[in-house]
Structure 1
């Protein structure tokens, strides 16, 4: 991989991750919340390495459009694998039966499930006094129940050596004002990941989580457009810059790969060190 050398405060480094994983071609992954953002980036990274993907999203039309765009992309010259193929599905992660149907779609289309990425999530804002019953219920339903239901559906079809990756957050261990519902849900995801790893380890299934900090996505675009807020945020990041989606993709690839075959029950922070400040 090219050395990453920042040239200014807050600069986002978008060099592609070109790590090779020769065990990936022919594998099958399911990704929730794959129509946009990190989910679409995860799909692209796996497709480029020969993994077939089933992408699920609440916005079925957007998922279909993203799948068409990804299937039309040219192969990455630095990678040797023939690109995989992605198919789209509509998915409400708060419904266990939708996860079951998504898993069955993967089996019907590709015959197996090797990887499952519980990526779908919401990022609500409200001060503690203003968190409504509807907001906390919706947040826990999407961010926590969605992970549980996905893991249950995946485990029913997985084989020893398969892997599940959940999306936690550095907010699982750091309080952020106005994000009480979100922080609580991500703390639950981190602990649920450990529970899943213990119980699904009996089947030879690994379960880990990624805990991003400030990453250059639509979810954090607001802070990049607010100079004072950005300066304050970067003061709490030892590397003094925003992370890129490519850097989160690299961690996902590692956690799914054989390089992490003895890693389970772990939440890997991708936060530039901000959890320590």
Structure 2
């Protein structure tokens, strides 16, 4: 699952959750860089945009819901302005993108170039999470999930690569579902497995341009899209039993690996998928 933050599940349901300030290392070399984040109006993407801006990265947050994206960008900007600990935050602006449209990605790249003059990082975060048992997966559902979750990653990487310089980085959001089958998520699992393999192909070919491409595979993360787990005691118990650390992860715990993959500390890392799943891929 690669989904979006909402309620806190600290305490008995999510013991051991850690504050973001204790999770992320400082990578001063990323300050002043420019990032594009898709699916950034809420959830994980919004957390990524805010976290990067806190560290001095200029961010173009993009979403199909332009109104919500603009509101999110404004909220992040206001929060950074009020935070006395953030010395020189990056700017955050909102833009609209339909990730299923290749031309929209190119237009999004132009927004970043016109506003900031460069593109250093591109995070393909947008995704959908449909449910249907195998017998009930419709042509429309499989087409939609592949269009958003796979084509959206490909088109984003293509647009980014056209404008990136050597040393830039692309990060795609895969999922632990690329490695483990979940009942009722056949279309989703298929799409995320495709993202993992597409990441490897992109890494091989874009390596010729000095561009690194990696993916992150989150597991059960405390987000809006996993609300159904939190609201169903039996489902929550089953989920926590399937995680060796016996808690849900937080969006901040996904942001930490993202920050590493964008940094110079990962400058010889490409074509990899980092699982952020509390060990659930082994169960």
TM-score range, shorter chain: over 0.9
Q: Which residue of 1 aligns with 2:109?
A: 103
Matched position secondary structure for 1:34? coil
Q: CA deviation at 1:148?
A: 0.1
- Matched residue of 1:116: which SS? strand
Residue of structure 2 equivalent to 1:202: 208
Which runs of 5 or more residues in structure 1 are unaligned?
1-5
Contact 1:18–1:78 (CA under 8 A) maintained in structure 2:
no
* Aligned structure 1 segments of 4 or more residues deviating by more than 4 angstroms: 75-79
Structure 2: 5+ residue stretches without partners: 1-9
Q: C-alpha displacement at 1:7, in angstroms?
A: 6.0
Q: Does 1:128 align with 2:134?
A: yes
Which residue of structure 2 aligns with residue 93 of structure 1? 99
CA shift for structure 1 position 74: 3.1
Aligned residue in 2 for 1:188: 194
* 1:13 Cα deviation after fit: 1.3
Structure 2 residue 14 is matched with structure 1 residue 13: no
Equivalent pairs counted in the alignment come to 271
Residue pair 2:32, 2:56 contacting (<8 A) in 1 also = yes
Residue 154 of structure 1 aligns with which residue?
160
Give the structure-2-normalised TM-score: 0.93
Q: How far did 1:235 drift? A: 1.1
Which deviates more from structure 2 when the two are superposed, residues 7-16 or residues 242-251?
A: 7-16
Distance 1:67 1:39, change over 3 A: same
Where do residues 12-91 of structure 1 align in structure 2 (5 Å cutoff)? 13-16=17-20, 17-74=23-80, 81-91=87-97
Tell me which of the two structures has the higher relative contact order, counting C-alpha pairs closer than 8 angstroms and 6 or more residues apart. Answer: 2
TM-score normalized by structure 1? Answer: 0.95
Name the CA distance, whole Å, in 2 between partners of 1:171 and 1:12. Answer: 24
Q: Report if the CA contact (8 A) 1:162-1:206 is conserved.
A: yes
Compute the RMSD of aligned alpha carbons.
Answer: 1.3
CA offsets 1:87-129 (integer angstroms, 9 cap, x no match): 1111100000000000011001000000000000000000011
Question: Shift in Å at residue 73 of structure 1?
Answer: 1.0
Could you tell me whether the CA contact under 8 Å between 1:31 and 1:54 is conserved in 2?
A: yes
